[in-house]
């Protein structure tokens, strides 16, 4: 899979009132790429633990210690939890880019805002449960502070899940507001994140040096792949 390309520009060359926000925008581009990479690492960790679990059973199916298998499953769950938070952070960075862009007019006028808005809408279309999963994970103790609160967040069937791993779908599953919410730690999720990141970055110009205000005229870096 190709890495998305991060738009780069020399924010110190922006008009002085815009520089703080320009630096913030530049940092957000890098953060978006880093969250994509974090999710990829979580997939690799999950895959590694799942492979060890499978291999240990295949080599000695009768003598594999249950404690060892349980530890591997715990590590898989840790990867799934981290991935769920990462998708939420990925979403938040895109929202920040969209919402803060107006504070850098020099960049705003060069941006395809319709394409950026479309990319933002894709996040909730592709990952409609990511905020609910993040809230459930981030507030597990609060959600179960009392029997009454636990009942509020139990599924309509009465079942409560505080963070369980469904190995079949490679998903972390929880109950929140009387519903099941889940997020999958899969290559498909990673591909969708990659596609959305590409759409965000494509909304910005590839040749900043020719289009930023005259005072910024110098050769700037265009899109550069991160690795």
Residue 214 lies in a domain: no
- The answer to whether 163 touches 74, Cβ cutoff 8 Å, is no
135 vs 112 pLDDT, higher one: 112
Residue 182 lies in a domain: no
Residue 105 lies in a domain: yes
What predicted TM-score, i.e. pTM, was given to this entire model?
0.82
Residue 158 lies in a domain: no
Residue 1 lies in a domain: no
Instruction: Please give the sequence-ordered ranges of beta strands (E in DSSP) within the chain, or none if there are none.
Output: 5-6, 164-166, 171-176, 179-184, 224-225
Residue 220 lies in a domain: no
Q: How many structural domains are present in the chain?
A: 1
Question: Which range, of 47-51, 66-70, 140-144, 220-224, averages the lowest pLDDT?
Answer: 220-224
pLDDT score, position 225: 33
Residue 138 lies in a domain: no
Indicate the pLDDT class of residue 180, thresholds 50, 70 and 90.
confident
> Which residue range forms the structural domain that includes residue 69?
7-127+187-208
């Amino acid at each position: 899979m190709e890495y998305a390309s991060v738009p780069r520009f020399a924010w110190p060359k922006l008009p002085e009132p815009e520089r703080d926000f320009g630096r913030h925008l530049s940092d957000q581009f890098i953060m978006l790429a880093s969250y994509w990479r974090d999710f990829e690492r979580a997939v690799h960790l999950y895959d590694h633990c799942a492979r060890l679990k499978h291999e240990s059973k295949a080599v000695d199916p009768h003598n594999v210690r249950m404690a060892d298998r349980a530890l591997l499953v715990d590590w898989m769950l840790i990867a799934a939890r981290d991935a769920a938070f990462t998708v939420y952070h990925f979403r938040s960075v895109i929202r920040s880019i969209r919402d803060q862009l107006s504070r850098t007019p020099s960049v705003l006028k060069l941006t395809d805002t319709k394409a950026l808005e479309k990319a933002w809408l894709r996040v909730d279309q592709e990952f409609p449960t990511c905020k609910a999963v993040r809230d459930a994970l981030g507030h597990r103790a609060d959600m179960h502070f009392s029997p009454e609160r636990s009942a509020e967040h139990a599924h309509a069937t009465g079942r409560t899940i505080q963070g369980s791993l469904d190995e079949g779908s490679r998903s972390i599953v929880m109950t929140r507001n009387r519903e099941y919410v889940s997020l999958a730690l899969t290559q498909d999720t990673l591909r969708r994140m990659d596609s959305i990141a590409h759409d965000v970055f494509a909304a910005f110009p590839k040749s900043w040096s020719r289009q930023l205000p005259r005072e910024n005229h110098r050769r700037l870096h265009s899109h550069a792949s991160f690795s």
